[in-house]
């Protein structure tokens, strides 16, 4: 065997040592470093934790051993192998050092944008803890747990931000004048919660998950809110694609327009002798939006870029929920509100948290020991791991990727097709096979189609998280030049692109209303959640999808 071939084989062996697990001495070196107070740096997955700080030392040891054998009479082959192994491990260390610098840059970018909080679409309310504080207009929506009415607050006549005031009238589907009624009030149905404020707030605590810090009066904040799962409800931080509850209070149920015709059975006996409702209930005050996503899609179909941005907004919202330990569990186009930004791009907002799972430990795993445990709402858009779960001792349903699956199904509606999991399409999440999914329109970009297909994978272990799927769309929309990387040089190019994106977004934010567009909000959200490993996973999915698409197209041409 030639020396050149031996060195080549040694370098290959050096690169594969991490995967084969032969670096036992590395573990001992790392253990010694931990005893001395040094901590491994997080540039490798946890399964490689013993190798994080030891590769450089191991490379030096191997190279030293090779040189020692050179002067100690070892055979030429053994000397070559030891030297090659040392150089191979040294190359790995060089690449990992590059990864450390790249990960540090990502953390710095993340820190900059994490400090820039989201600006609420409403000016702060100074009052409004009583129903009498509002002027209530017509009904604009009704669901299984409440009715929504347009409203205005005389104590805050200019509620909308100035840069959004004119754009609110852009949606032709708006069923009310948003200038006259910039707020919406949701009146919850109250069948069995009693009529005391404490009982109502405890029973309906899930509706308070998106509540702002001043939504409840201070004395009401002291009430223990335990929800349906025996845990304190989460309070979500603000996000441009998640509804914000600005006021929450209890009051006597009034006779509002359309009540006798639309929902007579839920009225209290004092308003309808045959009614089954309680005298008091919970009221939620939010911003009034032009229409729901479903209403918008019934009248128009967005172009492919707008559709991609809409899917991306839903993924960013779901990722925001997951990071804070909340699963919506009832995502559908009826529970997504819509308005336009200053550029005419639809902005989506997830609403209606009545079925959400909000746990103190953020595990998003619900013990499923009985059929009486609620899986959530809208059975048609439940992820396969939810619909196929069988109750039993020690069984838990994992909701960490179920909302992302629902986004994949809703994406069909956004791009002009029927949702494949509604009855008309015939597929059931419990039993469908991935090859049964209908094709998306030909105009939908290949990367977007790949994301949607991945989101609808049956096995959650093979399904990307909302964060990774969102990163895929970000890279597809804005980072095409940064995708073609396989080595450390490519990582540097990716980091250079991230730094350029950061500068662009920061400059755009300094130009007033330009920083409040959907694209600017999405880019800020992307940069504030930046993690190198998530980016790598996203790139891996994208490159694999492109390879599969190329193979498929080649086969079609050949046939």
Higher-confidence residue: 400 or 63? Answer: 400
- Mean pLDDT for the stretch of residues 487-503: 76
Report which secondary-structure segment, H or E, holds 81.
Answer: helix 76-114
Q: Is the pLDDT of residue 508 over 90?
A: no
CA neighbor of 278 nearest in space, from 414, 353, 187, 376:
187
Q: Is the pLDDT of residue 161 over 50?
A: no
Say yes or no: do domains 122-288 and 291-559 share a fold: no
- Mean pLDDT for the stretch of residues 41-53: 44
How many angstroms separate the CA atoms of 548 and 404, rounded? Answer: 22
Q: Is the pLDDT of residue 114 over 60?
A: yes
Tell me what pLDDT residue 323 has: 93
Most confident by average pLDDT, 352-366, 465-479, 496-510: 465-479
> What 3-state DSSP class applies to 370?
coil
Report which secondary-structure segment, H or E, holds 282.
Answer: strand 280-287
Tell me what pLDDT residue 137 has: 93
Residue with tokens 């840069």: 163
Q: Is 330 a catalytic residue?
A: yes
Higher-confidence residue: 101 or 414? Answer: 414
What percent of the chain clears pLDDT 90, i.e. is strictly above it? 47
Q: Is 419 exposed, middle or buried (0-12, 13-18, 19+ CB in 10 A)?
A: buried
- Mean pLDDT for the stretch of residues 220-249: 71
Confidence band, pLDDT 50/70/90 cuts, at residue 553: low
Q: Is the pLDDT of residue 102 over 70?
A: yes
Least confident of 10-24, 233-247, 253-267: 10-24
- Mean pLDDT for the stretch of residues 323-348: 94
Tell me which of 99, 330, 352, 403 is the catalytic residue.
330
Q: Is the pLDDT of residue 278 over 90?
A: yes
Tell me what pLDDT residue 49 has: 45
> What 3-state DSSP class applies to 548?
helix
Q: Is the pLDDT of residue 178 over 50?
A: yes
**CATH entry 3.30.200.20 includes domain 122-288:** yes
In the numeric block, which tokens belong to residue 145? 């747990």
How many angstroms separate the CA atoms of 310 and 302, rounded? Answer: 9
- Each as own residue / partner, the long-range contacts of residues 487-493 (CB below 8 Å, 24 or more positions apart, any chain) are 487/95, 488/94, 488/95, 488/98, 488/99, 491/98, 491/99, 491/102, 492/98, 492/102
Higher-confidence residue: 361 or 211? Answer: 211
CA neighbor of 89 nearest in space, from 39, 22, 159, 151:
22
Tell me what pLDDT residue 502 has: 87
Higher-confidence residue: 18 or 283? Answer: 283
What does pTM read for this prediction? 0.80
How many angstroms separate the CA atoms of 141 and 150, rounded? Answer: 9
Instruction: For the domain covering 291-559, report its CATH number.
Output: 1.10.510.10
Residue-wise burial string across 199-214, b where 16 or more C-beta atoms lie within 10 A, e elsewhere: bbbbbbbbbbbbbbee
Tell me what pLDDT residue 51 has: 43
CA neighbor of 110 nearest in space, from 528, 456, 524, 531:
528
Backbone phi, then psi, for 254, in 5-degree steps?
-90, 170
Higher-confidence residue: 513 or 110? Answer: 110
Residue-wise pLDDT tens digits, 3-23 = 455 445 555 555 554 444 444
Q: Are strands 326-327 and 357-358 parallel, antiparallel or unpaired?
A: antiparallel
Report whether 310 contacts 303 (CB < 8 A). no
Tell me what pLDDT residue 192 has: 81
How many angstroms separate the CA atoms of 300 and 298, rounded? Answer: 6
Task: Supply the Cα-derived Rg of the chain in whole angstroms.
Answer: 28
- Mean pLDDT for the stretch of residues 448-474: 96
Tell me what pLDDT residue 342 has: 86
How many angstroms separate the CA atoms of 472 and 540, rounded? Answer: 9
In the chain, where the domains are located: 3-114, 122-288, 291-559
pLDDT averaged over the chain? 79
- Mean pLDDT for the stretch of residues 312-332: 96
Confidence band, pLDDT 50/70/90 cuts, at residue 491: confident
Backbone phi, then psi, for 248, in 5-degree steps?
-140, 130
Confidence band, pLDDT 50/70/90 cuts, at residue 511: low
Residue-wise pLDDT tens digits, 202-232 = 888 889 999 988 898 876 655 544 444 434 4
Higher-confidence residue: 95 or 168? Answer: 95
Confidence band, pLDDT 50/70/90 cuts, at residue 30: very low
Residue-wise pLDDT tens digits, 370-380 = 999 999 988 89
- Enter the DSSP assignment of 233: P
SS3 annotation, 116-180: CCCCCCECCCCCCCCHHHCEEEEEEEECCCEEEEEEECCCCCCCECHHHCCHHHCCCCCCCCCCC
- The H helix count followed by the E strand count for the chain is 16, 12
Backbone phi, then psi, for 160, in 5-degree steps?
-75, 150
Tell me what pLDDT residue 458 has: 96
């Amino acid at each position: 065997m030639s020396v050149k071939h031996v060195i080549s084989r040694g370098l290959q062996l050096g690169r594969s040592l991490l995967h084969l697990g032969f670096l036992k001495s590395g573990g001992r070196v790392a253990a010694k470093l931990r005893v001395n107070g040094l901590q491994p740096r997080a540039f490798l997955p946890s399964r490689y934790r013993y190798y994080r700080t030891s590769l450089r030392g191991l490379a030096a040891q191997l190279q030293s051993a090779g040189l020692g054998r050179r002067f100690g009479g070892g055979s030429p082959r053994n000397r070559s192998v030891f030297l090659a192994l040392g150089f191979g491990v040294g190359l790995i260390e060089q690449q990992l050092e590059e990864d450390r610098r790249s990960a540090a840059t990502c953390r710095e970018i993340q820190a900059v944008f994490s400090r820039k909080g989201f600006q609420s679409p409403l000016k702060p309310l100074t009052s409004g803890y009583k129903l009498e504080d509002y002027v209530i207009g017509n009904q604009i929506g009704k669901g299984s747990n409440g009715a929504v009415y347009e409203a205005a607050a005389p104590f805050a006549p200019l509620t909308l931000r100035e840069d959004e005031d004119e754009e609110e009238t852009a949606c032709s589907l708006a069923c009310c004048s948003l200038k006259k009624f910039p707020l919406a009030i949701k009146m919850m149905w109250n069948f069995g919660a009693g009529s005391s404020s404490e009982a109502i707030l405890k029973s309906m605590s899930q509706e308070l998950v998106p509540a702002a810090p001043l939504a409840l009066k201070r004395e009401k904040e002291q009430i223990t809110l335990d929800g349906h799962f025996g845990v304190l409800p989460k309070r979500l931080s603000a996000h441009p694609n998640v509804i914000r509850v600005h006021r929450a209070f209890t009051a006597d149920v009034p006779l509002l327009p359309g009540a006798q015709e639309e929902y007579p059975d839920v009225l209290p006996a004092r308003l309808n002798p045959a009614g089954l409702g309680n005298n008091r209930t919970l009221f939620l005050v939010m911003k009034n939006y032009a229409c729901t996503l479903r209403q918008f899609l019934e009248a128009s179909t967005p172009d492919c870029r707008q559709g991609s941005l809409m899917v991306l907004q839903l993924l960013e919202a779901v990722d925001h929920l997951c990071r804070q330990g909340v699963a919506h569990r009832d995502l559908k186009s009826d529970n997504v509100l819509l308005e336009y930004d200053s550029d005419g791009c639809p902005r989506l907002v997830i609403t209606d948290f009545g079925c959400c799972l909000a746990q103190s430990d953020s595990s998003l795993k619900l013990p499923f020991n009985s059929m009486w445990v609620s899986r959530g709402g809208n059975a048609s858009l439940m992820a396969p791991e939810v619909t196929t779960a069988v109750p039993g001792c020690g069984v838990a349903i994992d909701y960490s990727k179920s909302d992302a699956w629902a986004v994949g199904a809703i994406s069909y509606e956004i791009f002009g097709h029927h949702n494949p999991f509604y009855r008309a399409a015939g597929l059931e999440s419990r039993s469908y096979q991935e090859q049964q999914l209908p094709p998306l329109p030909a105009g939908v970009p290949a990367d977007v189609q790949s994301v949607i297909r991945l989101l609808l994978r049956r096995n959650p272990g093979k399904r990307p998280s909302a964060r990774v799927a969102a990163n895929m769309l970000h890279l597809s929309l804005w980072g095409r030049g940064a995708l073609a990387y396989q080595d450390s040089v490519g990582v540097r190019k990716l980091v250079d692109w991230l730094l350029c994106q950061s500068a662009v977004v920061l400059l755009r934010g300094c130009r007033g209303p330009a920083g409040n567009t959907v694209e600017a909000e999405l880019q800020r959200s992307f940069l504030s959640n930046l993690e190198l490993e998530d980016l790598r996973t996203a790139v891996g999915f994208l490159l694999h999808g492109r390879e599969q698409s190329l193979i498929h197209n080649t086969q079609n041409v050949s046939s």
